[in-house]
Amino acid sequence: MTLEEIAKKMCAKGKGILAADESTGTIAKRFKSINVENTEKNRLFFRQTLFNSQAMKNYIGGVILFDETIKQKSTLGPTIPELISDNDVIPGIKVDKGAKPLAGSLDETVTEGLDGLRERLKEYYGLGARFTKWRAVYKIANKFPSSQSIKSNAHALARYAALVQEAKMVPIVEPEVLMDGNHDIDMCYKVTTNVLNECYNELTIQKVDLKGTVLKPNMIIPGTESKKKSNSEEIAKKTLECLKKNVPSDVPGIAFLSGGQTEIEASENLNEINKINDTNFLITFSYGRGLQASALKAFGKDQKDHSSIQKAFDHRAKMNSLSSKGEWSKNLEEVAA
């Protein structure tokens, strides 16, 4: 498959990307919230239960893995990448080393991980990965994000993407403008516009073939502490407008992150975007919490109850699949409940 074909398969109509790439530290927090011990065995068991579900065949186009997970063998026999591929889903891998303090602007971060990346990509390709992910983080506050933060992260994202395409994999480019803060929806729009413009300037400089990439952006949403709330129709309108103005048409797929949204909010907002999507972009989901929160609760209740864990995951994946086609409704949530 060409890089463009892989990108389109990851974001195919009715399918999206499962972000199961939580670091050991992040999943520790998730497990703590459900009183489950953070062991390698428990991490493997939770993830393979999702990867072996019916939803994988029907609603998932790709899965982003963490370094530990891509190297694991499932208790079912195949390796984790094989288990995913057997469902005709594309395995991927998070390759950044996390957001670190940005020298000169220590209240902001720059994502690291370029050192040794070429060698790591060869290893991941050999393990079965066909796409990768790198996340840059921008916060909105008084003078932030600074131009230093916007430029530094865009440069790193572009260099990462070039190396990934050299290694015959599709880079997911994830510039996340955080929801934290009291900013309104218009400020989110303005900052996201600046961030996307700089990213695509740098991607062009680094000679990245945009047809073989997937964008993983934030939606245009007011800050969590904003006094001015926005409904899903306004969020959808502003988000689509921002994408149309700032994302080159060569990009085949846009897979949103769920950020600080609840499962229902993430489905509702994605649905509204697709109801008015008049572009050629495949617009779908690349959710972590937005796909796994209910399954995680079920795992906390009874780790051996595969069917309840998978039922929760299957439902959430189906709801987001409908949202990626503009066919979701709150009634469908209530019927399932």
Q: Where are the domains of the chain?
A: 3-336
Q: What average pLDDT does the segment 201-215 reach?
A: 98
SS3 281: coil
110: β partners: 100
- Which segment of 141-145, 199-203, 297-301 scores lowest on mean pLDDT? 141-145
Q: Phi and psi of 183, rounded to 5°?
A: -70, 155
Strands 170-177, 131-138: pairing is: parallel
Instruction: Label residues 267-293 b or e (16+ Cβ within 10 Å = b).
Output: bbbbbbbbbebeeebbbbbbbbbbbbb
Q: pLDDT by residue (tens digit) across 227-243?
A: 999 999 999 999 999 99
- All residues at 6 or more sequence positions from 186 whose CB lies less than 8 Å from its CB, including other chains: none
- Is the Cβ–Cβ distance between 56 and 47 less than 8 Å? no
Q: Which residues are catalytic?
A: 174, 216
**The one-letter amino acid at 207:** K
Query: Does residue 54 register a pLDDT over 90?
Result: yes
Strands 99-102, 105-111: pairing is: antiparallel
Higher-pLDDT residue of 335 and 53 is 53
Provide the CATH number for the domain formed by 3-336 in this structure: 3.20.20.70
Place of tokens 């530094």: 152
Structure tokens at 322: 């409908």
Q: What average pLDDT does the segment 212-237 reach?
A: 96
Q: What is the dihedral of CA 233, 235, 238, 243, to 10 degrees?
A: -110
Distance CA 159, CA 155 (A): 6
Place 4 in a pLDDT band, splitting at 50, 70 and 90. very high
- Is the Cβ–Cβ distance between 222 and 230 less than 8 Å? yes
Which pLDDT score is estimated for 336? Answer: 66
Please give the DSSP secondary-structure letter assigned to residue 304: T
Query: Does residue 3 register a pLDDT over 80?
Result: yes
Which pLDDT score is estimated for 142? Answer: 86
Query: Does residue 150 register a pLDDT over 70?
Result: yes
Which pLDDT score is estimated for 160? Answer: 99
% of the chain beyond a pLDDT of 90: 97
Q: pLDDT by residue (tens digit) across 95-131?
A: 999 999 999 998 999 999 999 999 999 999 999 999 9
215: β partners: 173, 254
Burial of 60 (0-12, 13-18, 19+ CB in 10 A): buried
Q: What average pLDDT does the segment 142-158 reach?
A: 97
Instruction: Tell me the Cα Rg of the chain.
Output: 19
Residue among 63, 65, 66 at smallest CA distance from 85: 63
Place 334 in a pLDDT band, splitting at 50, 70 and 90. confident
Q: What average pLDDT does the segment 1-10 reach?
A: 98
Structure tokens at 20: 């199961």
Residue 160 CB neighbour total at 10 angstroms:
26
- Is the Cβ–Cβ distance between 102 and 143 less than 8 Å? no
